[in-house]
Amino acid sequence: MKKAAIIMMVLSGICFLPACFPQIYHISQSPETWTVARKKCRSKYTDLATIETKQDVLKIRTLTKTLSYVWIGLHADTESWRWSLENQNYFNAQEAGFRMWDDGEPSGSEYYKICVKLQNNGKWTVQLCETPAPLFCYNEGTSSFIYVNLNKTWKDAQSYCREHYTDLASVRNQSENEQLKNMLNSASAWIGLYRNSWKWSDGSAYLLDNWAPKNPSSLIKNTCAGSFSGKWYNVDCNDYWNYVCYSEF
C-alpha cells in the first residue's frame, strides 16, 4: 500500500497518503492476547491497527466507544539499542555496535525500556533506568571519559553529562571499555546505551505520540499498547482484550 500511495502522490501531486488510501478499521469483539489478536488480524485482514494521524485516532475512538481497552498494533521494540550520543560521526563502521555483555545479558527483554551499566568486571548489564547509580560522561573537547561518583537515574545522568560535558559515555571498542573499567570505583556505572522504543506490527514508522498521561509505564513487563477512549496505555500483552484490525482500501 505504501509504495502505491507514494506513486499516486507523486502522480497526482495533490493528495496526502492517509486521505488517498485510508485504512479500513475492523473491530473484533472476541478478547484475545495481543499475539493471538495479531495472528487473527493477519489471517483475515492486513494486520492489527496502525495509527498514524489524529484522524486515525478519532476513527478508532468512534469505533470502540462502548468498549474497554482494545489492542492496537503497537508493541515494545526489544531489539533497538541506541547510544545517547547523537553525533553518529563519532562512530566508525562497527563501533556503534560494539557490546561487552556479561553472561546472560542483555536480560530485561521483558521491559520495553532499559538502560546499561558497566560493572567492575568490565562487562555490561541491563538495569531499570530509574535505579540510581554513578555514571560515565564523555567530553568531546578533551576526548576523555569522566567518572561521576553521584547516584543518578539514567535520565538524570544523561542531563548531568549534557550540561557539564558532551553526553553519557559511548564505548566503541575493547580499549575504551578497559579505560572505563579502570576508572570505576564502585560496583557499576551508567554508560550511554539504552533501549526505549515502540514499533508498529506492520512495520510503519512510530511517529504519533498518543499515550495517556503517565504512559507508557516502564515497570510493566511484556507490554503492548491498548487504546481506551482514544488514548494509549501499555498493558500486559497476555491480557485478553478486543482488538482492532485494518485492511487496505
Ligand X SMILES: *[C@@H]1O[C@H](CO)[C@@H](O)[C@H](O)[C@H]1NC(C)=O
Q: 60 or 193, CB closer to ligand X?
A: 193
Binding mask 56-95 for ligand X (x = CB under 6 A): ------------------------------------x--x
Alpha carbon distance 213, 226 (integer Å): 14
Q: 107 or 173, CB closer to ligand X?
A: 173
Q: 131 or 210, CB closer to ligand X?
A: 131
Alpha carbon distance 199, 78 (integer Å): 9
End-to-end Cα distance, the chain: 9
CB neighbours of residue 148 within 10 Å: 18
Q: 20 or 183, CB closer to ligand X?
A: 183
CB neighbours of residue 212 within 10 Å: 15
- What dihedral angle (degrees, nearest 10) is formed by the CA atoms of 120, 122, 123, 129? 60
Of 17-25, 147-155, 189-197, 221-229, the window that binds ligand X (rule: CB under 6 A) is: 147-155
Q: 63 or 128, CB closer to ligand X?
A: 128
Do 207 and 54 touch, CB atoms closer than 8 A? no
Of 22-30, 33-41, 172-180, 224-232, the window that binds ligand X (rule: CB under 6 A) is: 172-180
Q: Binding of ligand X at residue 149 (CB under 6 A)? A: yes
Alpha carbon distance 25, 243 (integer Å): 10
Q: Min. distance of Cβ 218 from ligand X in angstroms?
A: 20
Q: Catalog residues that contact ligand X under the rule CB under 6 A.
A: 92, 95, 149-151, 172-173, 175-176
